[in-house]
Amino acid sequence: MAIFVYKAQLKNGTTREGKIKAKDRSNVRANLLRMKMQPISIKLFTAEDDVDMEETPIVGRWIYRDRNDNIQIRLTQQAPSAKEISVFTKQMAVMMKSGVPMIQALGILARQQSNSTFQHTLLKIQKIVENGSKLSEAFASFPTIFDSLYVAMVGAGEVSGHLDTILLKLVSYIERSTKVKSQVKAALIYPVMVVMVAIAVVIGLLVFVVPTFAQQYAENGRELPFLTQMVISVSNWLGTNWTSLTGGLCAGILLLRRGIQTPRGRLLFDRFILWVPGIGLLLRKIAVGRFCSTMASMLTSGVNLLEALTICAASAGNLVIEQFVLNVRIGVEKGQKFSEPLGQGHIFPEMVVSMVAVGETTGALDEMLEKVSEFYEEEVDLAVQAMLSMIEPIMIVSIGGIVAFILLAMYLPIFDMAGGIQ
């Protein structure tokens, strides 16, 4: 039996919300219809849906009454960062290794959190564990904070009796994952910022500088060179249609975002970005490194191969890679060796497939995957540095060339007049 949260409409048109125990959603729906209520939404109840044991909500979670019956206002509800989760995990491992009881450790660490949302979550987890649930089950109640990988590794640590060791492995994984994310941001943010500056400079020249020259040339009455006339025409068009252009760009961005949110749009976008020159190769290296690191961490922690592949697919971050990993899982489930379906696509290089095959043969698959992840971590470092060193001169030359073209086009009539005077 599970607990479900429902929202239903009565015959008089009013809505009612509540919780109900049932085997599955179909049973919940049948029970609601039996009670003359039309179901609107049914979802599995988790601790995130519950109210805090020490808070009484007045307006959602934003205005509430605390344990002392005082009205409080929560202005922000920021999710904990990867660094905060990493620090918490490390402190939890140290305290458990030192013999501090789990419930007491959770209470101590909750009071130390400066992030009110994270503190709120840890206090709930403490209560759930006090009521007899496993720590992994308590973490699983907050999927937006503790992902499936985190929960699976904690669960494996509980089964093996080495939870403190597994928590330290989780810390290492989180820190490595955070480093990779920062590298991706460094590789992508810099060129985006440069492009935005370049667009701003070009628009500034076309809107403010070119019209001044155009007015002077119009008063002179001379015939203008083709390049000069072309730049002036672009400037006039931009000045006349800037509202339509801005609206069109905003609409295009909104439509693109809406399209990416659909399954087919997301698949097309993820497939496209993996094959973009330069960026696509970097993203594939990052994906391979993350996959190997995640698999190594879970296999070392005692998670079985099929479950590890399922979690890797869910945490891939790219729909193309996610579908590929799920196909690998299907192949393994049918009795194939892990390396066989892994080598059928074009995502994983031959070197990775060969090392996985060697790991399967020697019985040291987790160690081999760890070595591959370390190799690709270095590869990503080198790829990011190479990309940044290549992008910087290209961007500078491109911006300089565009600005020089506009200025040259505007000064051509002056050069013609100077030649005519001679």
The predicted-structure confidence for 255-281, as pLDDT tens digits, reads as follows: 888 888 788 888 888 888 888 877 788
Q: Which position has the higher pLDDT, 71 or 287?
A: 287
The sign one gets for the Cα dihedral 354, 360, 363, 368 is: positive
Two structure tokens written together for 321: 């890679």
Q: Please report, for residues 129, 222, 411, 417, the alpha-carbon distance to residue 421 in angstroms, rounded to integers and kept in the order given.
A: 92, 14, 16, 6
d(CA 209, CA 231): 11
**In the predicted model, what is the mean pLDDT of the chain?**
81
Two structure tokens written together for 146: 């503790």
Mean of pLDDT values over 96-106: 90
Q: Model confidence at 419, in pLDDT bands (50, 70, 90)? A: low
For 55, list phi and psi in degrees, rounded to 5: -135, 145
Query: Amino acid identity, residue 167?
Result: L
State pTM to two decimals: 0.63
- Of the candidates 18, 23, 64, 49, the residue with the CA atom closest to the CA atom of residue 142: 49
- Of the candidates 157, 173, 169, the residue with the CA atom closest to the CA atom of residue 303: 157
pLDDT above 90: percentage of residues in the chain: 6
Contacts 24+ apart (CB under 8 A), 32-35: 32/6, 32/8
181 contact partners, CB below 8 Å, separation of at least 6? 82
195: which DSSP letter? H
Q: Which position has the higher pLDDT, 221 or 261?
A: 261
Q: Please report, for residues 146, 300, 358, the alpha-carbon distance to residue 354 in angstroms, rounded to integers and kept in the order given.
A: 33, 20, 6
Mean of pLDDT values over 329-343: 89
pLDDT score, position 74: 55
The predicted-structure confidence for 38-61, as pLDDT tens digits, reads as follows: 888 787 765 444 444 445 555 555
**What is the number of other CB atoms lying within 10 angstroms of the CB of residue 121?**
25
Q: How far, rounded to the nearest angstrom, does the alpha carbon of residue 110 sit from its chain's CA centroid?
A: 26
d(CA 293, CA 372): 8
Mean of pLDDT values over 113-118: 85
DSSP 394-408: HHHHHHHHHHHHHHH
Domain 175-422 class, CATH top level: mainly alpha
